[in-house]
């Protein structure tokens, strides 16, 4: 017998809405995860934005511009959905800039060549899609609805990235080597995106019980690997894992050990770009203050006109 309306709704796979009663732990778990998700979308704009002025054609520049703009929108949906839980945008930004809140480790790696932009779309957005398609079924209504909208745009992101990598893989030997080099550098950080192994996850059990997470880290990671390895092989690229082998019995790829020391170093601020990413965010946030002030002044003026 459920102890509360909340439990009854969770058991019946009904969405929890902002005005519903919910345990404090459910609320704080969502604020943590959703705000960090939003931070990841916004910080993720930096590595890609770095190549907008250097895109190799007008078409690729337009596509990259559209993608980076989409990521800003994803951050906006997620910040707005998170605000329904009672945290302000200001608090979330402060937590990001002071290091109290995390963002995805993957965005602390540098984008060295144009092939990296392809690898980000193909692998990072590919991993994000696997995670976010599952999150469409999350128990918190505003988060679930944000995921449904975001997933529609994410598939364009993955396809444009894979198109870049395919073009390079079919190009000159030097271009094919660029694509392989990008796969070598981005493969392992992409599978780290799914978080620690289930046995080492300090959050998963509650997340799964509250139906915030609908699949475990390892299950989502496995789905991503199973889907992505054939895409690499199709264009003649080699996944940088000597232990990768198809397992007929399990119908999945077996793969090598993840370097969790690297993962936690990056998560804990010692990655190649952590400092740069936050400094850039602070600079952009400060330079954009006048825009925020103007928008608030405009909306207040409009509101006063309506009231008068």
Neighbouring C-beta atoms of residue 274, cutoff 10 Å: 20
Does 125 participate in binding ligand 3HC (rule CB under 6 A)?
yes
Applying CB under 6 A, the span of 16-24, 125-133, 139-147, 163-171 interacting with ligand 3HC comes to: 125-133
DSSP string, 111-147: --SHHHHHHIIIIIHHHHHHHHHHHTT-SBHHHHHHH
Phi, psi of 36 (to 5 degrees): -70, -30
Applying CB under 6 A, the span of 15-23, 33-41, 159-167, 226-234 interacting with ligand 3HC comes to: 33-41
Cα–Cα dist 205/176, whole Å: 43
Does 165 participate in binding ligand 3HC (rule CB under 6 A)?
no
Does 196 participate in binding ligand 3HC (rule CB under 6 A)?
yes
Among 115, 207, 229, 239, binds ligand 3HC (CB under 6 A): 207
Applying CB under 6 A, the span of 80-88, 192-200, 236-244, 290-298 interacting with ligand 3HC comes to: 192-200
If you ran DSSP here, which 8-state letter would residue 246 be given?
E
Cβ contacts of residue 292 below 8 Å, gap of 6+?
A: none
Does 189 participate in binding ligand 3HC (rule CB under 6 A)?
no
256 SS3 class: coil
Q: Whose Cβ is closer to ligand 3HC: residue 100's or residue 301's?
A: 100
List alpha helices for the chain, DSSP H: 5-11, 24-43, 45-49, 58-83, 89-97, 114-119, 125-135, 141-169, 173-192, 204-209, 217-234, 260-265, 274-287, 289-307
Does 75 participate in binding ligand 3HC (rule CB under 6 A)?
no
Does 119 participate in binding ligand 3HC (rule CB under 6 A)?
no
Q: Whose Cβ is closer to ligand 3HC: residue 142's or residue 196's?
A: 196
Does 85 participate in binding ligand 3HC (rule CB under 6 A)?
no
Q: Are 48 and 115 in contact (CB under 8 A)?
A: no
Q: Whose Cβ is closer to ligand 3HC: residue 180's or residue 204's?
A: 204
If you ran DSSP here, which 8-state letter would residue 16 be given?
B
Binding site for ligand 3HC (CB under 6 A): 32-33, 36-37, 40-41, 44, 71, 74, 102, 104-105, 124-125, 128, 131, 154, 192-196, 201-204, 207, 217, 267
């Amino acid at each position: 017998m459920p102890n509360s309306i909340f439990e009854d709704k969770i058991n019946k796979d009904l969405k929890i809405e902002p005005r519903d009663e919910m345990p404090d732990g459910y609320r704080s778990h969502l604020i943590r995860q959703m705000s960090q998700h939003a931070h990841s979308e916004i910080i993720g704009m930096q590595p890609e934005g770095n190549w907008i002025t250097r895109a190799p054609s007008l078409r690729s520049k337009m596509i990259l511009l559209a993608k980076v703009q989409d990521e800003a929108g994803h951050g906006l949906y997620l910040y707005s959905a998170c605000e329904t839980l009672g945290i302000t945008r200001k608090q979330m930004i402060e937590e990001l800039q002071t290091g109290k809140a995390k963002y995805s480790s993957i965005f602390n790696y540098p984008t060295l060549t144009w092939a990296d932009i392809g690898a980000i779309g193909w692998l990072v957005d590919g991993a994000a899609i696997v995670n976010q398609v599952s999150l469409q079924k999350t128990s918190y209504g505003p988060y679930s609805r944000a995921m449904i909208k975001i997933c529609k745009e994410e598939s364009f992101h993955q396809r444009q990235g894979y198109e870049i990598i395919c073009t390079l893989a079919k190009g000159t030997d030097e271009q094919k080597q660029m694509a392989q080099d990008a796969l070598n550098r981005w493969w392992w950080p992409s599978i780290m995106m799914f978080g620690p192994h289930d046995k080492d996850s300090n959050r998963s059990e509650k997340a799964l019980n509250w139906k915030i997470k609908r699949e475990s880290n390892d299950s989502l990671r496995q789905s991503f690997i199973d889907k992505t390895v054939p895409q690499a092989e199709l264009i003649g690229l080699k996944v940088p894992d000597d232990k990768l082998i198809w397992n007929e019995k399990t119908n999945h790829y077996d793969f090598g050990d993840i370097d969790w020391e690297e993962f936690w170093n990056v998560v804990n601020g010692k990655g190649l770009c952590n400092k740069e990413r936050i400094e850039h965010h602070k600079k952009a946030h400060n330079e954009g203050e006048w825009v925020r002030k103007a928008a608030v002044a405009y909306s207040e003026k409009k509101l006063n006109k309506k009231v008068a």
